[in-house]
């Protein structure tokens, strides 16, 4: 199943997976105890989030946040990985109107170290905080900066 999902993600056809496969992903892919510590499982989770059942997704995200928010000295690489998961999660939550764990994901992003490689994810965390709190003016400023920075493809993904 992991191979099929990986191919679907890489080919851009993940939304085309059949209903049974989507249900299997939601129910079975992330049930072993240490999946939140495995790089490949985290990557798979991040990439398949869009098709995971809206009732199961928050529980899985809570597991990720619990695993990494209790550790104080995360490497920059780990912070990059988990912050990307948080960004994907916030995007999907905003799109699907899910509120579970949104604040925790934003808190995680705010707590990232000030490494230059993490600044964009910190900014996106603030962007989503603005969206969820109805602060359209600051969200608009961030979108404007992205447009002026010629991040058009990325900016198109942020339109709701």
CA dist 58 and 93 (Å) reads 9
Kindly tell me the number of DSSP H helices and DSSP E strands found in the chain: 9, 0
Domains of the chain by residue range: 2-113
Q: In the 8-state DSSP scheme, what is residue 37?
A: G
Give residue-wise pLDDT tens across range 51-84: 898 999 999 999 999 999 877 789 999 999 999 9
Is the pLDDT confidence value at 44 over 80?
Answer: yes
Q: Which residue has the higher pLDDT, 88 or 12?
A: 88
Binned at pLDDT 50, 70 and 90, residue 1 comes out as low
How would DSSP label each residue in 144-155?
Answer: HHHHHTT-HHHH
Confidence tier at 129 by pLDDT (50, 70, 90): very high
Higher pLDDT, 32 or 95: 95
The pair of structure tokens assigned to 41 is 């499982």
Mean pLDDT of 101-107: 97
Report pTM: 0.88
Residues 137-142: contacts with CB under 8 Å, at least 24 apart: none
Residue 12 has pLDDT above 90, yes or no: no
Under the banding of pLDDT at 50, 70 and 90, the label for residue 158 is confident
Contact (Cβ atoms closer than 8 angstroms) between residue 46 and residue 84: yes
> Tokens representing 117?
């490689």
Locate tokens 């191979």: which residue?
3
């Amino acid at each position: 199943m992991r191979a099929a999902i990986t191919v679907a993600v890489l080919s851009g056809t993940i939304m085309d997976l059949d209903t049974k496969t989507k249900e299997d992903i939601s129910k079975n892919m992330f049930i072993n105890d240490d999946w939140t510590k495995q790089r490949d499982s985290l990557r798979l989770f991040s990439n398949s989030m869009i098709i995971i059942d809206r009732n199961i997704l928050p529980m899985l995200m809570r597991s990720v946040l619990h695993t990494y928010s209790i550790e104080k000295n995360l490497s920059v690489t780990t912070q990059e990985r988990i912050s990307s998961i948080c960004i994907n999660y916030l995007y999907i939550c905003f799109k699907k109107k899910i509120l579970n764990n949104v604040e925790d994901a934003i808190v995680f992003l705010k707590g990232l170290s000030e490494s230059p490689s993490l600044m964009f994810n910190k900014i996106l965390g603030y962007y989503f905080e603005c969206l969820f709190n109805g602060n359209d003016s600051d969200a608009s400023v961030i979108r404007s900066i992205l447009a002026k920075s010629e991040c058009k493809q990325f900016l198109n993904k942020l339109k709701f």
